[in-house]
Amino acid sequence: MNKLIIVLLALLAFQAGIAQNKIKIESADDLPKHYYDLQGNKAMDYINNRDLLLELAATLENDLNDDLEKYAIEDKATMRGYHSNFSMIYFIQDDLKSALEEIEKGRKLTEKEADKYMYNFTLDEFIKTRLEYPDLQEDEFKEAFKANLKSDLETIPFDVVQEDVESMTGSFDIAKPNLLQGMIEGQMQPVIDKAGKQVPKFIVLQVLDAALTYDMFLPYIDEVYKPVFQAYYDKHHVDVVMVDIWKERDVSFNNDLDLDPVVIGIWDTGVDEAILPAENRWVNGAEKKDGKDNDNNGFVDDINGVGFDLNGNKVTELLFPIEEKNSNYQQYEKYLKGLLDLQAMIKSDEADELKKYIATLPPEEVNPFIENLNMYANFSHGTHVAGIASKGNPEAKILAARLTFPYENIPAPPTLENSENWAKMYKNTVQYFQDNHVKVVNMSWGYSQNSYEALLAMNGVGENEEERKALAKKLFTIEKDALYAAIKDASEILFVVAAGNANNDVGFANNIPSGLQLPNLLVVGAVDIEGKETGFTTMGKGVNVYSNGYEVESYIPGGELRKYSGTSMAAPQVVNLAAKIWAVNPDLSVAEVKDLIVKGATPSEENKEILLIHPQRSLSMIQ
């Protein structure tokens, strides 16, 4: 045998042995965690002191390289993140060629068409211009960068990247130094102060990203990014007419049809039942609003549903009492609308007001502003979902089941008492659904063991990684097992779950409830009005069907209409379909309804593995 062939075979065998010795990572929960000693330092110190920043970047680089040597990580979204982090580190280290190589490696792992163009696009263009013109003065570099950015952007098909371009261009108006400084001081610094020697990796990444933003983003917004992207949008968006595939698929029922009532559980952040048409409100006729448990079911004043607070305790309010926390909450509804308008390239008074407000916002007020914005988003979420679920169905009866999520940028850490309360809440809520003959439940929420581990780290809980991971696993498992058991035991109810908005794989992420596998659970991803994948949707084999989750119009508390995006908006459209199927034939089983939804769906033209719901087809298949 040829000596060269023998050498090659030996080399391949050696490499295979290395791969086999690596620890295989099959879940996000098992990804290696890293913690850093930043005690005594300020986050802004790393921005202002290059030596300190380079030292931190080098430490992180070593840890990331160690991960890839020790672990076999097959999840593409995770590996895209690693390459993106390496490109950021190499950029900070002024190793621009290596940074470009990492961007290209990450781009090869993209799965969505838009990502193939937009993955780290601006950083890629910036680095290429620096390498092409290494000796230019700053003003000359800006012009060269602008010309390169404009030229390469024009080669990208607008209809593929429209969503990304709209979002990016809208962000340019609010990306200000005061906003970034406020986020650094109000979100990163408190974690550094609490965690000290055990600062989690994601905070270090945020610090490095902030340094990169100061270097290659903020100085170029007004003269490069904004005019180039705006001109690209203005030139092409008039030629792109998005065809709404959902209008021809939709089915709307009239009052004169012979339909059966269907109770829909909206398990969310609360519902403003008053804004729903009277015909769409579920009513407990055995209960009065008098502060008593009239029907002896364990809940007080549960006329339209039940509620639980952040700690998992029963409350009578179906909506979060936002006015107690923020008397100016209606202003934040305007700010949220302004933000959504900016991201959709919609000119509005609210968008102008938001831009003016952020431009003058002192850094110390940035954190309260973001938290109040989060609070209002949570507050309005469930009502928006309920409007989608009941649309076009006079026999849809909305039963609200409120659960409460934190809105703070650094929420309190999870505890054993809270997890045990949430486990009881899961059991009690599902039992309530069963007792009141709920047919289908919408669950547009989710969290993971990793999120609990992060919360513990952010609050300085635990002496080391092993202690935090063990505690996070214990608490999360208590809740996961309780939710799994409750749904499993309610086999007569179909639970419809939002896949998530992290552009990752649903199976690898291992969130609850989207990571649960049960015959009476259906996971939904998001596409746009043309049936194309949204940039944010979580995907994978665990996602059963997809529906429109891009700028979906529905109600917010008070009754006004707003357009929200997310898999949160896609899931209730599947709930809407399930409820209509049962309204036509109440005798169908959960398995039969689920089968009708999946079999009626059609493959996406863009990706045949994606099934787009088709209400007309599914309803026409009812025997």
Question: Residue 245 is encoded by which pair of tokens?
Answer: 């595939």
Distance, CA of 147 to CA of 129 (rounded, Å):
10
**How many CB atoms lie under 10 A from the CB of residue 309?**
16
pLDDT, tens digit, 9 for 90 and up, residues 183-233 = 999 999 999 999 999 999 999 999 999 999 999 999 999 999 999 999 999
Mean pLDDT confidence for 31-60: 95
pTM flag (> 0.75): yes
Helical (H) or strand (E) element with 267: strand 262-268
Question: Residue 332 is encoded by which pair of tokens?
Answer: 């934040």
pLDDT, tens digit, 9 for 90 and up, residues 296-318 = 999 999 999 999 999 999 999 99
Distance, CA of 240 to CA of 246 (rounded, Å):
18
Q: Does residue 140 register a pLDDT over 60?
A: yes
**How many CB atoms lie under 10 A from the CB of residue 466?**
10
What pLDDT, on the 0 to 100 scale, is given for residue 292?
96
Distance, CA of 492 to CA of 437 (rounded, Å):
9
Q: Give the CA distances from residue 126 to residues 137, 140, 143, 208, 433, in Å, rounded to whole numbers and listed in that order.
A: 15, 13, 12, 17, 55
DSSP codes of every residue in 308-351: E-TTS-EES-SB--HHHH-TTHHHHHHHHHHHHHHHTT---HHH
Distance, CA of 273 to CA of 557 (rounded, Å):
9
Q: Where are the alpha helices (DSSP H) in 490-551?
A: 506-509
Mean pLDDT confidence for 241-270: 94
Output DSSP code: residue 476: H
What pLDDT, on the 0 to 100 scale, is given for residue 20?
59
> For 161-175, b where at least 16 C-beta lie within 10 A, e where not — what string?
bbbbbbbbbbbbbbb
Question: Residue 90 is encoded by which pair of tokens?
Answer: 């190499």
Helical (H) or strand (E) element with 153: helix 138-153
Class in CATH terms, 262-326+364-620 = alpha beta
Q: Does residue 13 register a pLDDT over 50?
A: no
Distance, CA of 25 to CA of 81 (rounded, Å):
15
pLDDT, tens digit, 9 for 90 and up, residues 572-605 = 999 999 999 999 999 999 999 999 999 999 999 8
- Mean pLDDT of the chain, nearest integer: 95
Q: Where are the alpha helices (DSSP H) in 157-225?
A: 158-172, 177-183, 189-195, 201-216
What pLDDT, on the 0 to 100 scale, is given for residue 9?
45
Of 102, 105, 217, 121, nearest to 160 by C-alpha is 121
In one-letter notation, the amino acid at residue 64 is L
Q: By the 8 A CB rule, do 514 and 538 touch?
A: yes
What pLDDT, on the 0 to 100 scale, is given for residue 15?
46
Give the position of tokens 């949160």: 568
pLDDT, tens digit, 9 for 90 and up, residues 69-96 = 999 999 999 999 999 999 999 999 999 9
Share of the chain above pLDDT 90, in %: 93
Q: Determine the angle formed by the axes of helices 590-600 and 567-584, rounding to 10 degrees.
A: 120
Long-range CB pairs of 589-592 (<8 Å, 24+ gap) are 590/491, 590/492, 590/493, 590/494, 590/519, 590/520, 591/519, 591/520
Pick the more confident residue, 4 or 294.
Answer: 294
Distance, CA of 381 to CA of 403 (rounded, Å):
12
pLDDT, tens digit, 9 for 90 and up, residues 147-175 = 999 999 999 999 999 999 999 999 999 99
The pLDDT confidence band at residue 468, using thresholds 50, 70 and 90, is very high
Mean pLDDT confidence for 328-344: 95
Output DSSP code: residue 28: G
Mean pLDDT confidence for 537-565: 96
Of 339, 306, 122, 72, nearest to 229 by C-alpha is 122
**How many CB atoms lie under 10 A from the CB of residue 560?**
11
The torsion of the CA quartet 580, 585, 590, 591, rounded to 10 degrees, works out to -110
What pLDDT, on the 0 to 100 scale, is given for residue 239?
81
Beta strands (DSSP E) in 55-152 are 71-73
The half-sphere exposure of 169 on its side-chain side, counting CA atoms within 13 A, is 21
Q: What angle (nearest 5°) sits at the alpha carbon of residue 224, between those of residues 221 and 228?
A: 110
Q: Does residue 17 register a pLDDT over 90?
A: no
Residue range(s) of every CATH 3.40.50.200 domain in the chain: 262-326+364-620
What pLDDT, on the 0 to 100 scale, is given for residue 444?
98
What pLDDT, on the 0 to 100 scale, is given for residue 169?
94
The pLDDT confidence band at residue 368, using thresholds 50, 70 and 90, is very high
